[in-house]
Amino acid sequence: MSKQWQKMRKHDQYYKQAKTHGYRSRAAYKLKQINKKFKILRHGDYVLDLGAAPGGWTQVALEIVGDRGKVIGVDLEPITKINNATFLIGDITDDGIVEPITKQIEDTKFDVIISDAAPNISGNYSIDQAKSVYLAESALNLAVQLLKPNGNLVIKVFEGEDFQQFFLKIKKAFRISKKFSPKASRARSSEIYVIGLDYQSKN
């Protein structure tokens, strides 16, 4: 971590707020802002959090869904325990991840799927953007299998030449589709959040 990055983080309002309020990452405020605008999450929802490490989005989801809800997080890396959350180690691009996820929810599906997953940054934007879209496509593929009819979806993706094609798939699958950049996203970031509301299941 560079000294410049450390200095920027130290003066970042969302980083400071996350520290103050016990969130594991400043990204928690991105989900808060998304939910305030679009009402993605509701009390009692079953939520699948993809690319969940270190757990900031999981914390926010748990606050909203309450005791009647359930939050399951998936990541390649182990995640330190959060009370009332279930974490699985797995690759969201691997079709084999579906089975261990479904074992956690028995015969139901998820009301909401959220993904803040991002690729390891190489420094080559074309490559990184393509990897981001691949992760987003994988999240959408899981949504097709695991999301309830009329469910909601949030996926982070980097903007670029492949973005519009991916967004068209969201538009076809959901009654309402939106693109949104929360205030908590850094000004120089190329990330954007794709919002899908009211999943139109064909099953």
Write the pLDDT tens digit of every residue in 48-74.
999 999 999 999 999 999 999 999 999
pLDDT reported for residue 14 = 77
Residue 8 maps to a domain: no
* 11-50 tens-digit pLDDT: 578 778 878 888 999 999 999 999 999 999 999 999 999 9
Which carries the bigger pLDDT value, residue 81 or residue 188?
A: 81
pLDDT reported for residue 189 = 82
User: Which residues lie below 8 Å from residue 176, measured CB to CB, with a gap of 6+?
Assistant: 195, 196, 197, 198
Averaged pLDDT, 185-201: 91
Q: How confident is the model at residue 10 (pLDDT cuts 50, 70, 90)?
A: low
Averaged pLDDT, 131-152: 97
Number of domains in the chain: 1
For residue 184, the domain's CATH number is: 3.40.50.150
Residue 192 maps to a domain: yes
pLDDT reported for residue 7 = 44
Q: How far apart are CA 106 and CA 54, in angstroms?
A: 26
Asked if 198 and 150 touch (Cβ cutoff 8 Å), the reply is: yes
Q: How far apart are CA 166 and CA 194, in angstroms?
A: 10
> Which region, left, alpha or beta, applies to residue 178 given φ > 0 means left and ψ of -120 to 50 means alpha?
beta
Residue 148 maps to a domain: yes
Residue where the block lists tokens 């279930």: 86
What integer best gives the mean pLDDT of the chain? 92
Residue 76 maps to a domain: yes
Which carries the bigger pLDDT value, residue 162 or residue 156?
A: 156
Domain enclosing residue 129, as ranges: 25-199
Residue 82 maps to a domain: yes
pLDDT reported for residue 122 = 92
Averaged pLDDT, 93-108: 95
In the predicted structure, residue 2 carries a pLDDT above the cut 50: no
Residue 18 maps to a domain: no
Distances 22 to 15, 69, 76, 126, 177 between C-alpha atoms, Å: 11, 21, 23, 35, 32
The structure's pTM equals: 0.92
User: Which residues lie below 8 Å from residue 95, measured CB to CB, with a gap of 6+?
Assistant: none
Question: Residue type for 177, please?
Answer: S
Residue 9 maps to a domain: no
Does residue 39 have an active-site annotation?
A: no
Of 156, 171, 178, 202, the active-site residue reads 156
